[in-house]
Amino acid sequence: MVEFSNILNHEPCESYLIFSGETALGGNFRAILYFLGLAYCFFGLSAITARFFKSMENVVKHSREVVEIDPVTQTEIIRHEKVWNYTIADISLLAFGTSFPQISLATIDAIQNMGNRYAGGLGPGTLVGSAAFDLFPIHAVCVVVPKAGELKKIADIGVWLVELFWSFWAYIWLYIILEIWTPNVVTLWEALLTVLMYGLLLTHAYAQDKRWPYISLPIARDERPEDWVPEETPNGIQETHKMEGSERIFLNEDNGDTVDIFSIHSEYTTDPMYVRVPERDDVAEISDKVKERALEDTDLLTIWSQQFVDALRLESPESKKLSNVYLRIGRIFWQLLLLPWRFMFAFVPPCHIAHGWISFICSLIFISGIAYIVTKLTDLISCVTGINAYVIAFTALASGTSWPDLVASKIAAERQITADSAIANITCSNSVNIYVGIGVPWLIDTLYNFIAYREPLRIQNAEGLSFSLLVFFCTSAGCIAVLVLRRLIFGAELGGPKLWAWITCVYFMLLWIIFVVLSSLKVSGFI
């Protein structure tokens, strides 16, 4: 058992981040510096999140031409169809992208532990803690985001149930590996199966979305979006052209008024139009749209240089109009604090190149770089303070690296008519955390151990991880039960009467505190 006095009276830490002279500083001072550095890295994640979302927007609104012949009039009809399926985009681009900080951290931790014959606890601890943060605090935020009295429900219950099943199965599978089949070790085939289950999740969710027989649940779908971001077309819904004696009709089913990283839901499933969701700052939105359209006609170098100009600008035209001087100063200070990150991220290529893929990949690379610094700072904080690195992982790291998840779900809860993307991002991110975030690092380490030592991978702090999983199961059941009750009582999972929304919010936060406290006590040896 670890005594509390061991945390206070541990040996001096000889490791350092940049300079060897850091070891000459006092332990308390070093701990404060490293914690501040960790917080600043989380600011960096918030800064790159905006660019990541913009690139993701360009990826998902990519469409292709589909030519059809009207059997009656023999008219050639060309319509623009989205390349990305709504459900697959939720599970892959949105959930995978917002979980990439945790995935990068776990992968880096696994690579650093190669040759040690055991898996590091930093990655799994962060991912399990991130699951709790996603399920409790993010649900708590989303449930109060809608305006007072506004209700937002899950439109496609069938898809959500499939995603929820695979989310819970991910943690049940992890517990089976750790405690039942091969206690405290992971074999190569277990790691491989964990990664392959992500493919099963994608297949099952797509089958449910398309209502494949014998595989999908026979549950009717309410109103739901067919696209994420409708294309902007100044020519309206339908354009007719004459080509070589035959009439070609160009159908455009999108609303050019919509500028959102998420789909805008139709009021009816058969209606091709989309409902414009009012924004808080329409002046700023129109200004951004005009600016984007102006940049479309300029060359790549001009657009790229504009990114650096925007990064160095401390005050936007909108903030200059603020009458509250303190709020204006606060915004300038925040922009000044983020200036180094914004300038660094301005090197990411513009989002319109290659349908946003280059910007998307470069954003993930920057996220990986920040994740590497985070792992170094976490090790140093654990070394200096004597706090178990696993405790830091599922508290501070899990909260900080889950920031993109929080942003994505909050935006979806604010702007979408339904709760599909907001809640799907939570459940899908939890699945991605296990199948990819833990599966890939374990696959790397088990493969190395199999080749080098011909033995399975031992799990560091498997008992503490298993206990955290049990606590997570119990608390998550309480969370899902309340969502079901809200659906039965209010008719929706998010929003509703403000008093009950805040009561639900506090309840979700209490569940998270219970998880953190019990898991920390177990890892520290007090339980």
- CA-to-CA separations, 375 to 114, 126, 470, in angstroms, rounded: 15, 11, 26
* pLDDT tens figures, 452-501: 888 888 887 778 888 988 999 899 999 999 999 999 999 999 999 999 99
Q: What is the mean predicted confidence (pLDDT) over 285-308?
A: 63
Residues 6 or more apart whose CB falls under 8 angstroms from that of 111 comprise 441, 444
Compare 338 and 36 and report the one with higher pLDDT. 36
Span 171-189, pLDDT tens digits: 899 999 988 888 888 999 9
* pLDDT reported for residue 298: 58
Region 263-271: mean pLDDT is 32
Q: Residue 354: left (phi > 0), alpha (psi -120 to 50), or beta?
A: left
Count the helices and strands in the chain (H runs, E runs). 21, 9
Question: For residue 523, which of 429, 386, 401 has the smallest C-alpha distance?
Answer: 386
Task: Report residue 280's pLDDT band, with 50, 70 and 90 as the boundaries.
Answer: very low
Token reading at 126: 């962060």
pLDDT by residue (tens digit) across 120-153?
777 788 888 888 998 999 999 999 999 878 899 9
- 49, 53, 54, 58 alpha-carbon torsion, rounded to 10°: 150
What pTM value is reported for the model?
A: 0.73
Query: Which has the higher per-residue pLDDT, 300 or 451?
Result: 451
User: Is the backbone of residue 457 left (phi > 0), alpha (psi -120 to 50) or beta?
Assistant: beta
Token readout for 275 is 């409902």
DSSP 496: -
Q: How far apart are CA 339 and CA 345, in angstroms?
A: 10
